[in-house]
Structure 1
């Protein structure tokens, strides 16, 4: 072994550090940068090298690099250079690994991981000399040049090569001394494969992954498929060999080996001065450390790259400053585990749209700049779940006039179970001013503009709809055959629609104001009115556009019910096969009606704002799931209890309110209903827009998979929007596959956690243990509710129904039962005709589905804590949508395992 010095490059420096820290490292030596410089000079390649170094743009750099790479590969090795290579090989001898070691490679800022070539299991002087030449040539490979330009760094031009004794490993892998995705220092991560590590670093082998805590205990262990292992071949190089089923299902490393790795890893991280990415191997002689480099992505996490995926969307929060996270009705849009792409697209849109909203209210430029410190962080993502950054939403409400009233309505609209204390709410200003006079002048201008928007909201909605459908009609029917074309369309649509959407957010503020006014008028004019009256009078009207899919689904179910053969086939066929089965059975008339539904509403889906969920056109099985449920409702007995309080708002008002007060009430009510209908239309436009973007994203995913950037097109959803854009604007990040793999592993672990409805953080320095103390714990069995138990919630749609509970995570096989679910999204609307009542654990009476449920007369209770865990499919329950209760009845049992 020899110490390299600066001329040995990044890998050699890492090996120096490992040896100095007392790590067990296989014998090695280095051909320093001076050997490569001598090669360029003696081979007559200096001018070509200078042309590459002086290239100012990516195109000219790629051209110069290709010319130089071809020459490096073709020219004969000068005698002095060959002697240096032979001498280095003699110092190690036997079978070696030949690894690139550029100056700047494996550094603290840029890893250049995978950009240069390395070769394992190389024997003999001729083979070693050829592999050294190929390592040099790889310094000018297109991927390495693009990586440097994408990172805004100069390409590496000082090239060294490490020769290291080859370890014939029975197991190998990578050790991260902190979690490389979240940056959590309490989680050390080990990836392990059988045989050599080539399969792991290339992504060809699905590795075991273990997460280990500071005490050495294994917190999580994911067993990879490990279908193959890479072993030394009969000559130079490696061969992939199948792993038998028994070894594939077993962990690569024993608990004692994991503990040893974890302990040594933490020691090395301390000795090397920070978190490390360490390559290791185990052979018959024990554990070896092959290389080490700083974990470069941690800087990006701290600066908001991967931090945009977890723990506050990358917002810098001063130490000790409070943040409150509430999932409220955000889960109507983003239920459960939400992909990185969906979250980062949504968070970016929210931030830009609400800045545009403030600008449309004539907020001064200085105050708009202040918004940039918090509007990008209206959402956060924790363990894969999306939350409102609640304090910022209160700030957002303060942009428009009427904050004291509007914030109370906001709490109802979001379904916030615990209102914010007044002493906190009063401090949440959206921006500050230099003097009271400036503040008064600005707020007066905003109030005048807001009043004008309130007056003109109908014409604003008409103009927006016309422009939206102009853009939508232009892009909706395009079949993208090229990823770059889809990307260009996505960027244009994103800019156009976000710019137009911002001013329309005044509609939410106007609806808050009007709803609050209706609440005050009801309390003032009708102090004895039942609580359900306000919900009844706030409806957008029976003709609201968002109810159309439900009505169309009911009509389709009635058409199927009229033909027993069709109905039987729909009920008895796997939804994924139903379309083909109907076609083969000759039911083409009915299929034409199905196609009509798909033409009109095919952009929809369950979880329709999640980009990873295919729409009905791509996967029509969702339509047949809902159709089967709607069929079950046709002809079912009416289970409503006689005498249920289903307030007729007009009859109640006729009986209790007359004269001037009635005229005032009706005027505000009409305006409120019209704005509620506008809001539903706007949300319908949002659904259409996301459906359009889904098709563009899928085209990009398939393009990137075809180009070899991704292993599968669905990997695109594991990228952030910035990472996706980089694939087209510059070059894919070299560690993209590793990030995707880490995120998929994290997704599996996240799915096993309970997601609390609300929790708090302070600053950014909090741990998983702190989150666990607030409810982020593994899913535990919750005892079922007993007969007589009453689960309380918020009344949302009046009526009383008794029936069998059907606990579902998607609208399937409800068949007239009482649908119990954690949350709904607008895609559930088509399934409402199949349910006799709704019980929703999270949400609010003002959410999309709750509004449509009232229009369709489906009794509904929302915000029923623990309902999906305490109720079981088959339980007999009574839902009182007027009182907001769910009572477990004595008759009727639960299905086992439900």
Structure 2
């Protein structure tokens, strides 16, 4: 037997020192300030137990049930208390105490199973603070040995098959006369966020914190930058302090101290810095005890965090996974991407979309005959065209400019791109000109490649109609095959095989079709220039209205079909009551009393069942899975509304342009309209494809739940597409539950944050504080706009309308009012016929819903900054879709729309 301490070798400490001694030893060896300590190894306790006839015959570890274990443990505690300490053990304890010098000490149990990576045994064994004198130390050491057999430690061990303690080491440590103390978790133990450090602090000794007797301050710090993210100041009406004798007491303090934070900014920074260093030393997130006295900061203990922070790497997705040089910027813009992926979006949807975008645009570059070497260069940015922050999807904007640079006409196309995406802020020319999609070894190689790409592009430009028709034929061949499958009869493996075939087939064909977007950018840009030349005084809304895809665009069909069903409902008073008064999820079953109308509903679902609100989000059920949203849209469409309010663009052209210039204009206009119609057809195909994939993923999700890989079917949406594929390709799935738990918790926190429309990051590492400084903050109330306030946006659909604003996050209860939304998606078109006007905070005049709104004659203004925060439901407003304004009216200031 020997006294252990910082001088002992690692092997000895690991073998007999126990968890606490092991942590102190590593802290000392790591160069941290640790109060002097000594330890009595498990061999000392074992010698004591072996010397006692009573303890030597009690078998604690072999008890097979809790009751027998508790009985044996009680007998062991009694025997330890009744057995005198042998002289050699008394001498060893005295030596360990003498090495610490005079003054109070702490006596702590140090069990081998304690403070481990798997089990903490937090609070299960005894700790004694403010211990004075050898006799008291002897008693406390014996009490620590006995605590290994306490009822709480036995119950803790039995709760989950944990190892049961027998021989216990004991640590003796010089007591710090702490002004403040606490714990620091180097990863957030609640959320599992590895980039956050959480500090809890109290006045006095930390025993008050861990026992719950004293209310602690809590500080959440961004680990990389040291910025304080959250602070909760506890009551300071008491703290834990030593008594004049042996022990501790809760001491009352003066009222003014209740509002003071325990730690200063400098002390928070010091604890944070030490926390990072300790984590680096131990190689894992740590739970660190610390104290501050008149000499500064001391580290008292460090142990692995064993709870929620055991989240696997990569559990919390952020950014685009791109390795960005330290000083290089990335611009993130949600513009019209929120039409497809609004609000908090699941990891499965985001990673599926990012994967498809990357492969499709790589295929696009390949189709334009970009040389092989340059094609490889595009792989570094086509795979990261999208980013993911706090559950929201963003354009990695600079790479989209690179993508536009593949086709000829970049200076003009990039301007049209900004209008198409709906970005609020144009890129400066200096930055835009530096964004090359790839580089060449020589100027000659660049010129040759550009010539080949230009010729290929022009061929596509003139042959785009035939190209689209071929694609549509191939698409519907694949779609018809897989849409008619009986998905209820498929196994998970069969659904996955079908998913992989469809994915490869369609993505491979879709890449070359992306040239249509480039052609539309080019032609729209030319249309813009020709309009400025022939019609220099044309209003802003005119260009967007004049290049529509035509009134018979396929994507407007659901709106017309919905209006036809609404006419049937209006003609039947009983049916009107059912649709208007019942909950949406109750309406479909109730239609059994209206078989004729139910047949019409079934026909709609059969034809458009792949559609839904947020229809590109895989987690959102379609109409076949949940028809309730159909009745939300139907209820909105019930007020009679004309499907057309006149073609203002045509009238403007007739009045201002004729002759040869009109023929030239119409020639280009026809090309743009055909391309716009093709684009709408392709987007309709995309919606159908996602609907088909949704059904396959639901089969796979149910299969994973049945196999026990995830807890419930819906957990599949918290996986990435790579993790989902791995689940059917032999990858280790044991960690998926932990991933799901962490991502669910993260989603709950993310939903409470406001998402800025645009922000910038520098380099690859950016913490929560950096994002918060650019608008990622908790949602707070914004004062409502007062009467007379005029909000400006981009005119998108001509006309003026006045009415009551209805601010919604889905098309419900819009009937007769003005629909105001942060964003929309193609699933909203069914509600448009009943809206007096449409106001969208984000999105561009070229988005799907804006196009359909123009075809239906609904006055529309888009890109109205903060409109959903400043306008409240029931506010009277005037929408001027011609000039792009939204005016707040007083109750009496209401006139007929002009």
TM-score scaled by length of structure 2: 0.72
1:763–1:95 Cα change, 3 Å? closer
* Alignment counterpart, residue 578 of structure 2, candidates 560, 569, 574: 569
Query: Which secondary structure does the structure 2 equivalent of 1:432 belong to?
Result: coil
- CA drift of 1:187 comes to 3.7
Going from structure 1 to structure 2, the CA distance change for 1:787 and 1:99 (only over 3 Å counts) comes to closer
Which residue pairs with 1:887 in the alignment?
A: 887
Residue 718, structure 1, aligned to residue 718, structure 2: yes
Instruction: Give matches, 1:637-786, under 5 Å.
Output: 648-786=648-786
1:232 counterpart residue number? none
Pick the aligned partner of 2:477 from 470, 482, 507.
Answer: 470
Rounded Cα–Cα distance in structure 1 between residues aligned with 2:741 and 2:566: 43
Tell me, yes or no, if the aligned pair for 1:95 and 1:122 is still in contact at 8 Å. no
Q: Deviations over 1:805-844 (max 9, x none)?
A: 0011110011110000100001111111121110000000
Aligned residue for 2:230? 219
In 2, Cα distance between the equivalents of 1:280 and 1:517?
A: 65
Among candidates 554, 557, 572, match of residue 548 of structure 1: 557
1:71-110 correspondence to structure 2 within 5 Å: none
TM-superposed deviation, 1:763: 1.1
Contact kept in structure 2, 1:188 and 1:211, CA below 8 Å:
yes
- Tell me the CA shift for residue 267 of structure 1: 4.7
- Cα distance in 2 between the residues matched to 1:27 and 1:593: 82
Check whether the contact 2:197–2:272 (CA below 8 A) recurs between aligned residues. no
Q: Does 1:428 align with 2:439?
A: no
1:393-408 map, 5 Å: 393-408=400-415
For residue 614 of structure 1, report the CA deviation from its aligned partner. 0.9
Aligned to 2:344: 337
Q: 1:434 to 1:634 in 2, by over 3 A?
A: same
Inter-partner Cα distance in structure 1 for 2:580 and 2:306: 58
State the 1:518 CA deviation.
0.8
Residue 594 of structure 1 corresponds to 601
SS in 1 for 2:330: strand
For residues 689 and 210 of structure 1, do their structure 2 counterparts lie closer, same or farther at Cα, with a shift above 3 Å needed?
Answer: farther
What is the 5 A alignment of 1:69-468? 175-177=185-187, 185-188=195-198, 219=230, 267=274, 270-271=277-278, 273-274=280-281, 276-278=284-286, 291=304, 305=314, 309-311=317-319, 313-468=320-475
Q: How far 1:605 moved relative to its partner?
A: 0.8
Call closer, same or farther: CA 1:605–1:29 in 2, change over 3 Å: farther
2:331 is paired with a residue of what secondary structure?
A: strand
Distance 2:41 2:615 in 1: 56
SS in 1 for 2:780: coil
CA distance 1:698–1:256, shift in 2 (3 Å): farther
Q: CA deviation at 1:463?
A: 1.0
SS of equivalent to 1:386: strand
Deviation, 1:690, is 0.9
1:810 aligns with 2:816: no
Partner of residue 831, structure 1: 831
Moved more, 741-750 or 797-806: 741-750
Aligned to 1:148: none
Structure 2: where are the runs of 5+ without partners?
29-33, 44-79, 81-88, 90-108, 126-146, 171-182, 201-217, 233-260, 290-299
**Once the 2 structures are TM-superposed, how far is the Cα of residue 12 of structure 1 from its aligned partner?**
9.0
Q: Contact 2:821–2:839 (CA<8 Å) still a contact in 1? A: yes
Mapped to 1, the partners of 2:718 and 2:893 lie a distance apart of 42
CA shift, 1:762, in A, is 1.3
For the residues of structure 2 that align with 1:319 and 1:592, how far apart are their CA atoms? 61
Cα distance in 2 between the residues matched to 1:174 and 1:491:
46
**d(CA) in 1 for partners of 2:188, 2:600:** 56
CA contact (8 A) 1:5 1:13 kept: no
Judged with a 3 Å threshold, the aligned counterparts in structure 2 of structure 1 residues 429 and 568 are, in CA distance, closer, same or farther, namely: same
Answer whether contact 1:398 1:429 (CA < 8 A) is retained.
Answer: yes
1:20 is aligned to 2:20: no
Structure 2 vs 1, CA of residues 434 and 212 (structure 1 numbering), >3 Å: closer, same or farther? closer
Q: Is the 8 A contact 2:407 2:454 kept in 1?
A: yes
Structure 2 SS opposite 1:815: coil
**Which residue in the other structure is 1:539 paired with?**
548
Distance 1:470 1:166 in 2: 73
Per-residue CA shift, 1:397-452, capped at 9, x if unaligned? 00000001100100100001111111111111101111111001000000000011
Aligned-residue offset at 1:666: 1.3
1:182–1:390: structure 2 CA closer, same or farther, 3 Å change rule? farther
Contact 1:14 1:293 in 2 (8 A): no
* C-alpha distance in structure 1 between counterparts of 2:500 and 2:199, whole Å: 36
C-alpha distance in 2 between matches for 1:714 and 1:572: 30
1:603-622 to 2 correspondences below 5 Å: 603-622=610-629
Contact 2:186 2:279 survives alignment (8 Å): no
Q: For residues 272 and 29 of structure 1, what CA distance do their matches in structure 2 show?
A: 27
CA separation of 1:99/1:843 partners in 2, compared to 1, >3 Å: closer, same or farther? same
* Cα 1:398–1:98 shift into 2, 3 Å: same
CA distance in 2, matches of 1:493, 1:8: 56
Preserved CA contact (<8 Å) 1:25 1:288: no
Name the CA distance, whole Å, in 2 between partners of 1:874 and 1:165: 70
After superposition, the Cα gap between the structure-2 partners of 1:678 and 1:27, relative to the gap in structure 1 and judged at 3 Å, is farther
Distance change in 2, residues 1:530/1:264 (3 Å):
closer
How many residues are aligned here? 717
- Output one character per residue of 1:367-421: Cα deviation in whole Å (capped at 9) or x when no partner: 0110111111111111111111111111110000000110010010000111111
Structure 1 pair 865–28 and aligned structure 2 pair: CA distance change class (3 A): farther
Shift of 1:523: 1.1
SS of structure 2 residue aligned to 1:317: coil
Deviations 1:467-489 (A, max 9, x none): 11111122223315422222222
Residues 292 and 800 of structure 1, relative CA distance in 2, 3 Å threshold: closer
Alpha-carbon distance, 1:750 to partner: 1.6
State the SS of the aligned residue for 1:764.
Answer: coil
Q: Partners in 2 of 1:359 and 1:164 — Cα distance?
A: 69
Higher mean C-alpha deviation, range 767-776 or range 785-794: 767-776
RMSD between superposed Cα atoms in Å: 4.3
* Structure index of larger Rg: 2
Superposition TM-score, scaled by structure 1 size: 0.72
Q: Pick closer, same or farther for the CA change 1:587–1:19 going to 2, 3 Å.
A: farther
**In the TM superposition, what whole-angstrom CA distance separates every residue of 1:28-68 from its partner, at most 9, and x where no partner exists?**
979xxxxxxxxxxxxxxxxxxxxxxxxxxxxxxxxxxxxxx
Distance 1:100 1:273, change over 3 A: closer
Does structure 1 conserve the Cα–Cα contact (< 8 Å) formed by 2:360 and 2:514? yes
Specify the alignment match of 1:515 in structure 2.
Answer: 524
Distance 1:706 1:529, change over 3 A: same
* Mapped partners of 1:425, 1:890: distance in 2: 45
What are the ranges of 5 or more consecutive residues in structure 1 without an aligned counterpart?
31-89, 107-112, 139-159, 168-172, 191-208, 222-254, 282-286
Q: Is the 8 A contact 1:99 1:163 kept in 2?
A: no
Deviations 1:528-548 (A, max 9, x none): 223332122210001111001
Contact 2:186 2:194 in 1 (8 A): no
Residues in 1 aligned to 2:165 and 2:400: alpha-carbon distance in whole angstroms: 55
Q: Sort the Cα spacing of 1:714 and 1:444 in 2 relative to 1 into closer, same or farther, 3 A.
A: same
Aligned residue in 2 for 1:252: none
Three-state SS of the structure 1 residue aligned to 2:802 is strand
Superposition deviation, residue 739 in structure 1: 2.2
| Distance in 2 separating the partners of 1:568 and 1:670 | 46
Q: Could you say if the C-alpha distance between residues 777 and 261 of structure 1 is closer, same or farther in structure 2, counting changes exceeding 3 Å? A: closer
